Structure 1
Amino acid sequence: MNIAASLLSAVFPIVVTVAACYDFLTMQIPNRFPAVLAIAFLALAFLIGLPLPTIGLHVVIGIGLLVGTFALFAFGYLGGGDAKLASAIALWLGIEQALPFLILTALFGGALSLAILSFRSLPLPGFMLGWTPAQRLHEKGAGIPYGVAIAAAALMVFPDTLWFTVFASM
């Protein structure tokens, strides 16, 4: 593989990790993260010569997940940034890793939700009183930074993708 392909494949784990950290600290996922993932996917797919029907299938999976996650957003179960991030991730994963990604996201999301709800049931430790992210996470009724669960699931299935092979060839 060439160096450009290897560098482009590194975009996935880097952007997914940064998006998770950003969500954890701010409870927001800016549009730039899913946008960078989508652009990098298309650039990498064309760079390595992925067949157009395969690219199309990846796009269909991404759009399909976008429709499903926006339904969850419309009913208040998921944030809009989470929906866009999960869809951009699905674009990279394609049909082979979509189901494992969704299952792991649900499992990690459940564990994360339980951990944060437990954290909220206790008084905020004194050393965290002045730290805005901790106060935001501790606030009763606040959302859950589900991007953390989405990213954890994505990074768990990434080694089983074609892109990891490209990434590992660096």
Structure 2
Amino acid sequence: MSEVESKPDAVLSAIGEAVTAGRSGSVETARRRLVALWHEIGVAGDPLHRCTLAHHLADLYDDPARALAWDVRALDAADALIDDRVERHHTNLGVAGFYPSLHLNLADDYRRLGSFEAAGEHIAAARRYGPELGDDGYGRLVRAAIEEVAQAITQRVTDKRASAP
């Protein structure tokens, strides 16, 4: 994740700008921008663009069913990604590193919907991919969230987590 390609990716930049707007409180504006970009990219567009956009757009919905729809799209796009495409954006990053967070989000969506069996399957997948995470702040954050969601699944808790995006 240390080096970014020399030629900026306009779509990823636009996604980043929308995400920043959402994190700054302009959630509806961010959603509109990302949905418009989704239509520009198309369902057969660049899988890195689709995965990144859907992953972030899911976080902009409080409704777990709506978040789930976007998280499923993110996972589907990741399944179409190849390491070469990811490495052209960030060196030393592979597709497998996406899966802990993608499965974590799906587990959390299903948990919030009360579908604990599906949630358990995705939390198990998040744990399987956990070793792909680096030993850095992001890796520790995702690992901690995996355990937090796993505990909530075990306890059959459907409330939104305080630490969720």
| TM-score normalised by L of structure 2 | 0.37
Q: Which has the higher contact order (CA 8 A, sep 6+)?
A: 1
Structure of higher CA gyration radius: 1
Higher helix share: 1
TM-score by length of 1: 0.36
